[in-house]
Amino acid sequence: MNEFEWRRQMRDLRQPVTPQRDLWTSLDAALDDAERMDAPTIQASPVHPSRHRQRWLVAVSLVASVLLVAGIGWHRLQESTASSLARVSTAPASWKPADPRLAGAAIELDAARMELQLAIQQAPHSPALQRLLDRTELQQTQLRQLANQAG
């Protein structure tokens, strides 16, 4: 399934759907029954201490696992943010070649690089923006090599 099919299916989900049966009648009946009943007596089943401890340990282990996964994810998120921000801050300064035919391309590439850096500061986890920035910097490098070859 490609992205276009996925998006089409998502648009189809926005259509209203009528339930197969009327839910309000059963809700009204349940509320009427609850009002008619006096305070019901609920008897709790006796829980053995070992079972209670086992449930508690399972709950604690699940919470610990979730916290561990969240901590690892947070750590990786911070590392990727720091590395992408460091790459943005260490970008090369603007450069203008002596050849007027290449100067226009250098100005355009420099403007594109600066706009991409601003966009990455707003969305530091965007792989698409990072790929565009890498491609722009590669084009700038190729343009500098071309200027050096031209003399």
Q: Considering the domain boundaries, does residue 22 fall inside one?
A: no
In tens digits, the chain (151 residues) has pLDDT values of 788 888 888 888 888 877 788 878 888 888 888 777 754 555 555 656 788 888 888 888 988 898 888 888 888 877 766 665 555 455 455 667 777 778 888 888 888 899 999 998 998 888 888 988 999 989 888 888 888 887 6
Does residue 149 share a domain with residue 97? yes
Residues 96 and 142 in one domain: yes
| Domain-embedded: residue 145 | yes
Q: Is residue 118 part of a domain?
A: yes
> 13 lies in a domain?
no
Is the Cβ–Cβ distance between 119 and 129 less than 8 Å? Answer: yes
Q: What is the pTM of this model?
A: 0.38
